[in-house]
Amino acid sequence: MSSMFGSTKYRETASDKQLRLDIEARRKEEEQTKLDDEKKRKHKKSRRKKGLIGSRSMFTRAGGRGYETDGEET
């Protein structure tokens, strides 16, 4: 049975389409940010395991100076 007032299909307006595209773009950006943060966290965790960073690492800059300054004043 059809409607006597015409079609009842949803027709997307230009503003609705733009809003949908903006939401999709924002969602993709958030996913990329989340992936980047996870990658950075894993990298930092692996470096901590190797002893390259941390409070007891010989490569840290204790007191603002350290192994990586090569004797230069900072």
- Give the model confidence (pLDDT) of 26-69 as tens digits: 999 999 999 999 999 999 999 888 877 777 666 655 555 555 55
> What is the length of the chain?
74
- Give the model confidence (pLDDT) of 5-21 as tens digits: 777 788 889 999 999 99
pLDDT of residue 49: 86
d(CA 13, CA 21): 12
pLDDT of residue 52: 78
Q: How many CB atoms lie within 10 A of CB 27?
A: 10
pTM of the model: 0.56
pLDDT of residue 66: 52
